[in-house]
């Protein structure tokens, strides 16, 4: 079993798109602020004893509790990375859709499309059929679009 510190290190170094929230009794939550549904907790009540939960209600293959959470107490580092990545992806894609896509426009009426590519686990920005940029997280892609003067439509 991974220790609390090992789990924190994995989460913080592997998933910069998550925001750490310290809660009561030394527990830690990690939120995904870019979630397309109301649910934002990806990691819930990670406890100093090593116990904790990951939101798994929208992914398959894990036993869930009544809240749709998966107990990660005995997960290996690879299992932990896998389930957190799947949880983030499930919160990034609209239910019933395999691809999340957004359109962004600037003051000159130029349009770019931001699209999650699940098979690559990357966020791509397209100008029509031309790839304009590739980013490892949605936050980085959004930052790029903001810096270039585009706003979400």
Mean per-residue pLDDT for 49-69? Answer: 92
Q: Rounded CA gap, 52 and 34, in Å? A: 22
Report pLDDT for 44: 97
Q: What is the pLDDT of residue 96?
A: 53
Kindly state the average pLDDT of the residues 77-99.
81
Share of the chain above pLDDT 70, in %: 94
Rounded Cα–Cα distance for residues 5 and 13 (Å): 12
What digits encode the pLDDT tens for the residues 60-76?
Answer: 889 999 999 999 999 99
Mean pLDDT of the chain: 89
Q: With b meaning 16 or more CB within 10 Å and e meaning fewer, what string describes 93-132?
A: beeeeeebebebeeeeeeebebbbeeeeeebbbbeeeeee
Q: What residues form DSSP beta bridges with 54?
A: 43, 70
Pairwise CA distance, residues 138 & 153, whole Å: 16
In the predicted structure, residue 124 carries a pLDDT above the cut 70: yes
Nearest residue to 127 (alpha-carbon basis) of 137, 119, 108: 108
Contact 52, 7 (CB under 8 A): yes
Token pair in block for residue 114:
């931001």
């Amino acid at each position: 079993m991974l220790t609390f510190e090992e789990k924190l290190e994995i989460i913080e170094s592997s998933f910069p798109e998550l925001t750490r929230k310290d809660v009561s009794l030394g527990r830690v939550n990690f939120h995904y602020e870019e979630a397309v549904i109301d649910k934002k907790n990806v990691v819930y009540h990670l406890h100093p004893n090593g116990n904790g939960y990951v939101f798994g209600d929208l992914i398959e293959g894990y036993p869930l509790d009544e809240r749709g959470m998966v107990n990660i107490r005995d997960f290996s580092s690879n299992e932990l990375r896998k389930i957190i990545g799947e949880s983030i992806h499930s919160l990034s894609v609209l239910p019933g859709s395999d691809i999340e896509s957004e359109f962004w426009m600037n003051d000159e009426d130029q349009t770019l499309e931001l699209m999650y590519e699940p098979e690559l686990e990357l966020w791509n920005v397209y100008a029509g059929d031309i790839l304009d940029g590739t980013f490892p997280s949605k936050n980085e892609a959004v930052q790029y679009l903001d810096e270039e003067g585009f706003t979400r439509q």
